[in-house]
Amino acid sequence: MLPITELAKAKVNLNLHILGRRPDGYHELSSCVGFVDVADVLSFEPAQVNALEVSGPFAADVPMGETNSVWKAYSWLAARMLLPLVHVKLEKNLPVASGIGGGSADAAAMLRGLLRLVEKTLSEDEITGLAADLGADVPVCFRGQACLMQGIGEKISILSEQLPPALVLVNPLVACSTAEVFKAMALKPGEMRAAPTKAEWRNDMTVAAIHVQPKIVNVLSALHKTDLFPVLMSGSGATCFGIARDFSEAEKTAAELTKLNPNWWVKAARIVT
């Protein structure tokens, strides 16, 4: 049997509105999410023992053992159905703790691949439950297509409008903890904000993320000096992006940014459907 392969595509929050904090402590959000053709790659096949083999430019940053998002996904699914033991190969191309769903995308890709392996599916309720059980971004990453993500991440609706064709992703290669960013936002349980009247191009986590990781300012400043528009931060950072008119412009701008900032992670990407 050939190994099953799944792409864990980078998730980009094209906007991100934090609507408040529920009494149970979870944050309510609304975000238009797109996926791009820059991805981690997972392949796996039945084995005698469970094993994870990691390669790629960010392999050294991947936590191993039970804290790894891939094994968390395996354990979650194994509690619901009989699974074979698997040998997993993870090509880690996305920086960790970077606001583009790397760990969540890996978990979602693991679920999709395992389900293909055992020829099973998840119910809508089970997909919804992924947000609370495995992380807010896992349901949308499991879908892997442009969506409006609401609630704590469990409410997903497919976007029908056309998204921009391309963008440039930039990360200063510093981790930015989502938990620390939410802490810096300092919303009290039960504190709610007014909902936006339209899909505004903004990320409500930006100021708090800059407090946690000041290098985000340098990235946003560099992007603002290009012709890309709009320029925003994705998720809880530190990855930021600028929208390009086409992939050619994205490639040209990425090359210029890489030349000026050789120690940053810079990728031109196409938004996929």
- For the annotated catalytic residues, the residue numbers are 11, 137
Query: Which residues are registered as beta bridge partners of 243?
Result: 167
- Whole-angstrom distance, CA of residue 238 vs CA of residue 236: 7
Query: Which residues are registered as beta bridge partners of 31?
Result: 149
- Whole-angstrom distance, CA of residue 239 vs CA of residue 180: 16
Q: Estimate the share of the chain in helix, then strand, then coil, as percent rounded to the nearest 5.
A: 35, 30, 40
The vertex-147 CA angle with 96 and 239, nearest 5°, equals 25
Specify whether the CB–CB gap between 180 and 143 falls below 8 A.
no
Q: In the numeric block, which tokens belong to residue 9?
A: 């595509």
Q: In the numeric block, which tokens belong to residue 30?
A: 């609304």
Which residues make Cβ contacts (< 8 Å) with residue 119, sequence separation at least 6? none
Query: Which residues are registered as beta bridge partners of 41?
Result: 7, 91
Furthest CA-CA distance within the chain: 55
Radius of gyration (Cα) for the chain, nearest Å? Answer: 18
- Whole-angstrom distance, CA of residue 115 vs CA of residue 80: 11
Burial of 182 (0-12, 13-18, 19+ CB in 10 A): buried
Specify whether the CB–CB gap between 272 and 35 falls below 8 A.
yes
What are the φ and ψ backbone dihedral angles of 85, each rounded to 5 degrees?
A: -70, 145
- Whole-angstrom distance, CA of residue 113 vs CA of residue 45: 9
